[in-house]
Chains A and B, each alone.
Chain A
């Protein structure tokens, strides 16, 4: 399955892109994060949340969307 991953804020400093597509054969958020930590070891030391369909998901959630978003701490206002 091909996933589109979007990165925001300080995460784009680590990934050097705001969006990319990756091949994914896993099931849960944790499976995806394992893959991303291999690609970007610095992500592991960074605080962020994962969202799909505009909802924050946990590590155990099953990925049902092909569009996944990684969000660092919010700093609006």
Chain B
């Protein structure tokens, strides 16, 4: 069996603007890159009947999730001509307005990064065992369903 090193894509709590900014800065030394594309998933303050979503609490079946992230990465590298790719997803509480998903792809040329980011985000939504609990302002909750 091929030896593979699974990265941990999870971060506790929201993904900060500083973290995202630092990730961009780290790529300044990689001068073969000509195009980056970034997707940021943000928690929406959805109104459901008379209640407003205050936060989402994320849990995951982490072992399988990191395995799936690995498969998505491998497939994306095969499908698109990418120099590098980073995926981060929050665990725990992420308040409305905060970032819960950060996908970052880089390529020599721009045409690769647009379809790549869409592919990766859709694959994450469909195949990674992550579960969101939408917590309302009054502390009641409902389980999030991806549309």
Contact of A9 with B100 at beta-carbon distance under 8 Å, contacts A54-B64, A54-B67, A73-B146 already known: no
Chain A residues with CB under 8 A of B130: 74-77
- Count B-side interface residues using an 8 Å CB cutoff: 27
Chain B residues with CB under 8 A of A74: 125-131, 146
Q: Is there a chain A Cβ closer than 8 Å to B145's Cβ?
A: yes
Q: Is there a chain B Cβ closer than 8 Å to A6's Cβ?
A: yes
Contact of A76 with B58 at beta-carbon distance under 8 Å, contacts A8-B129, A71-B129 already known: yes
Complex CA distance for A8 and B121, rounded to whole angstroms: 22
**Majority secondary structure of chain B interface residues (helix, strand, loop or mixed):** mixed
Within the complex, the shortest CB–CB distance from B88 to chain A, in Å, comes to: 12
Show 19 residue pairs from A and B whose CB-CB distance is below 8 angstroms, ordered by the A residue. Answer: A6-B61, A8-B129, A8-B131, A51-B61, A51-B129, A54-B63, A69-B64, A72-B143, A74-B130, A74-B131, A75-B143, A75-B144, A75-B146, A76-B60, A76-B65, A76-B146, A77-B41, A77-B121, A77-B125
Interface residues of A in 29-77 (CB under 8 A from B): 51, 54, 69, 71-77
**B-to-A contact residues, CB < 8 Å:** 41, 58-61, 63-65, 67, 89, 100-101, 121, 124-133, 143-146
Chain A residues with CB under 8 A of B60: 8, 76
Asked whether B63 lies within 8 Å of A75 as measured between CB atoms, the reply is no
**7 closest cross-chain pairs (CB), A and B:** A76-B130, A9-B131, A54-B64, A10-B143, A75-B144, A75-B132, A77-B41
